[in-house]
Amino acid sequence: MAETTAKRALPGSLDTNRNLSQWLDINADGTVTMRPGKIEIGQGILTALRQIVAEELDINLERVKLVTAVTALSPNEGITSGSRSIEESGVAFRYAAAEARELLLARAGAKLGVSIEQLSVNDGVVTARSGGSVTYWDITDNELLKREATGEAVPKSHTLHKIVGTASPRVDIPRKVAGAPTYVNDLDPPGLLHARVSRPPSYQAELISVDLDDVRNMPGVVAVVRDGRFLGVVAEREEQAIRAQRRLTRNAQWREKATLPEFNPRYLLKLQAKTDVISEKADASVAVNGRALEGEYTRQFLAHASLAPSCAVARFDNGKFTVWTHSQGIYPLRAEMAPALGVPPEDIVIHHVEGAGCYGHNAADDVALDAALLARGAPGRTVRLQWMREEEFAWEPFSSAMVVKTRATLSDQGQITSWQMDVWSHGHSSRPGRGPGSNLLASWHLEKPLVRAQTANPGLPGGGSHRNAIPIYDFPNQKVSNHLIPDPPLRASALRGLGSQSNVFAIESFMDELALAAGVDPVEFRLRHLKDPRGRAVIEKVAAMANWKANSKGDGTKGRGIGFARYKNGAGYMAIIADIELAETIRVTHVWGAVDVGQIINSDGLANQIEGGIIQSVSFVLKEEVKYDRERVTQQSWDDYPILSFTEVPEVEVALINRPELPPLGAGEGTQGPVSAAVGNALFNAAGVRLRDMPFTRERLIAAMA
């Protein structure tokens, strides 16, 4: 019997994309081409990856050229999500570039007649100690990287880094600041057609009849497409497409059903759930008798509320599709579009183009299929399909409503002796490629609909609804249970942080309630229950930044609070202090953040992510919730779904704790829970009012104070 040898595991995404030439080209013109499979969604990831490549190859940043992800060329890195791009793509590029450097040095040594140890590199110029030099560009060829990576090349020590760790300017910012065409919405190739979809009025609406001929005869209309409940128009000009879409919507007769639950997250408590105990421990030496406290915390569905509606461009030629979209996972999307379009995946090429807002599974994948379906109605022409604002609010995948219940006992010495937490939620992922069935909206409305995939949770330690539900504090007795309700009444999927916002909000709000009951300052109370030195360091750092005064009380209108978490219990550490003022509403005036994500790749990019996350989190906790009646989502505009305005943005200060000797960790989604809890705790500190239901609207504040 022949023996089989398992391949050695390679670092990060290199393990599933093992050919070096998938990642890099060393070009004779003095440049290096890098092809990430991760995509830019405003988080600055391409800048950081570029720094890693330049660092390992000892070349100037200006030499590194980026090729945006495309299924025909780029490594398949799955989905850009979970704040894992540096951990997956960054590590892959680090090892690929280190190995490419070794291969180049081997050639240079052979040409100069010296050993590799006698060579040094400066911006691609390889110099021998004994004299003589050669450049990378002199010794490269097309065969250099056409080989499988070994993973044996040793990347540079952090002590030698000159580029990694610096505040390198973002490569994506100049065009955005200049207002140059940047986003998929801006694509305007010659002969472009414009398209719109006419959606059902609600999830379960049945199409009774529709007059298509009336729309076909409108000015500029090129095609009217109907496939089951999927209705769309293609026109020469955008305003013509909008007018035709509105006419088509008026012409369609629908039968609606009242299938949505009451507008209260606690409907979750009435449904059958799949319950898993995700953490349980007991210490017989610690008595659990003592003062018992309980809490219940909720959140409604949240929308992505991207500033620009989702958009995609598609073309259908000779039975094959080309699509341009801001999907976070072009390969999983291609696999899921194929059965909906009735073609093999290799007949679809998907290009990533940035979209204006993402941070989770919004409608970017849905709009790609929409565009392809309508492009099929106008073969040989390029079709631009943009959702309308009301369509985005009604049909994008939301972040699930949640209910979290907590219970704990306090000893006479003010120590938590037992902790219990229960989480109720729908699943937090319905991305393409996440299991059997289809997660693309239009595929459910076709004449031959695809089976709708079930909303699910990514597994722990990352988790979905149970993300960050297990406290990282040290409690001797603990039980945490996740109650998953698989069938959401509204579309549900990933939004920045998934379940961590609600879970950390509950944990950190309850920690303040317990600190009050114990008569201990909230910062001191957290430190009493936390052994992790990195966690303690960020709490102590943010307290120093904000000049935290132990046991200080608010004055009735002003107050401050703290929140802390380690994102996914395994990524970046985040401690937040927020100051608030009370007037007609709650206003967050100042936020401090201390952050530890291990090795920092781009200090400015990291600070950007934290600052943006803080501002978005303030919007979540103060303003945002998806409203619906028994039939449909009722929001259609920014008036219906308010978000934080520019004049309401707090002053933000962020301190970064760099640990270059440690692996880099994800940062972009760590703020949501700590910020939400810090604002809630600040409200109690200011006025003695505890709001446990998000968002903290004026109506809820008035009711609580009354």
pLDDT in tens, 417-437: 999 999 999 999 999 988 789
Q: Of 454, 387, 406, nearest to 427 (Cα)?
A: 454
Residue 286 — pLDDT band, cuts 50, 70, 90? confident
When mean pLDDT is compared across 242-256, 469-483, 564-578, 661-675, the lowest value belongs to 661-675
The C-alpha atoms of residue 209 and residue 229 are separated, in whole angstroms, by: 10
Kindly state whether residues 388 and 499 are assigned to the same domain: no
Residue 371 has pLDDT above 90, yes or no: yes
Q: What is the pLDDT of residue 41?
A: 87
The C-alpha atoms of residue 33 and residue 516 are separated, in whole angstroms, by: 57
Residue 705 — pLDDT band, cuts 50, 70, 90? confident
Kindly state whether residues 413 and 379 are assigned to the same domain: no
Domain range holding 685? 402-428+463-705
Radius of gyration of the chain (CA): 27
Q: What residues have CB less than 8 Å from 252, skipping those under 6 apart?
A: 198, 207, 209, 210, 231
Q: What is the mean pLDDT of the chain?
A: 95
Look at phi and psi of residue 561 and say left if phi exceeds 0, alpha if psi is from -120 to 50, else beta.
beta
How much is the average pLDDT of 143-172?
94
User: Is residue 15 packed enough to be buried (19+ CB in 10 Å), middle (13-18) or exposed (0-12)?
Assistant: middle
The C-alpha atoms of residue 443 and residue 227 are separated, in whole angstroms, by: 10
The C-alpha atoms of residue 83 and residue 88 are separated, in whole angstroms, by: 10
Last-in-domain residue among 175, 206, 235: 175
Kindly state whether residues 336 and 424 are assigned to the same domain: no
Number of domains in the chain: 3
Last-in-domain residue among 158, 175, 192: 175
3-state SS assignment for residue 525: helix
Question: What are the pLDDT digits (tens) for 638-652?
Answer: 999 999 999 999 999
Question: What are the pLDDT digits (tens) for 178-231?
Answer: 999 999 999 999 999 999 999 999 999 999 999 999 999 999 999 999 999 999
Question: What are the pLDDT digits (tens) for 592-638?
Answer: 999 999 999 999 999 999 999 999 999 999 999 999 999 999 999 99
Return the percentage of the chain with pLDDT > 90, whole number: 90
Residue 667 has pLDDT above 90, yes or no: no
Residue 477 has pLDDT above 90, yes or no: yes
Kindly state whether residues 122 and 234 are assigned to the same domain: no
Kindly state whether residues 362 and 477 are assigned to the same domain: no
Kindly state whether residues 505 and 373 are assigned to the same domain: no
HEC-encoded secondary structure of 466-479: CCCCCCCCCCCCEE
Q: What is the pLDDT of residue 62?
A: 96
* Token pair belonging to 255: 């039968």
Count CB neighbours of 151 within 10 A: 18
Q: What residues have CB less than 8 Å from 155, skipping those under 6 apart?
A: 56, 94, 95, 97, 98
Residue 295, in any domain of the structure? no
Kindly state whether residues 478 and 373 are assigned to the same domain: no
Question: What are the pLDDT digits (tens) for 246-268?
Answer: 999 999 999 999 999 999 999 99
How much is the average pLDDT of 528-546?
98
Please report which helix (H) or strand (E) contains residue 235, including its range.
strand 230-235
Residue 5 has pLDDT above 80, yes or no: no
Residue 83 — pLDDT band, cuts 50, 70, 90? confident
Return the percentage of the chain with pLDDT > 70, whole number: 99
Residue 436, in any domain of the structure? no
Question: What are the pLDDT digits (tens) for 326-362?
Answer: 999 999 999 999 999 999 999 999 999 999 877 889 9
Question: What are the pLDDT digits (tens) for 554-600?
Answer: 999 999 999 999 999 999 999 999 999 998 899 999 999 999 999 99
Kindly state whether residues 391 and 406 are assigned to the same domain: no
CA angle (464 as vertex; 458, 470 as ends), nearest 5: 115
Residue 492, in any domain of the structure? yes
Residue 1 has pLDDT above 50, yes or no: no
Residue 284 — pLDDT band, cuts 50, 70, 90? confident
The CA-atom distances, in angstroms, between 404 and each of 257, 472, 510 are 30, 17, 11
Residue 341, in any domain of the structure? yes
Residue 96, in any domain of the structure? yes
Kindly state whether residues 506 and 646 are assigned to the same domain: yes
Residue 90, in any domain of the structure? yes
Question: What are the pLDDT digits (tens) for 96-134?
Answer: 999 999 999 999 999 999 999 999 999 999 999 999 999
Q: What is the pLDDT of residue 3?
A: 46
The C-alpha atoms of residue 268 and residue 300 are separated, in whole angstroms, by: 11
Kindly state whether residues 549 and 673 are assigned to the same domain: yes
Kindly state whether residues 561 and 633 are assigned to the same domain: yes
Specify the CATH number for the domain of residue 76. Answer: 3.30.365.10
Kindly state whether residues 167 and 32 are assigned to the same domain: yes
The C-alpha atoms of residue 276 and residue 254 are separated, in whole angstroms, by: 40
The C-alpha atoms of residue 489 and residue 441 are separated, in whole angstroms, by: 15
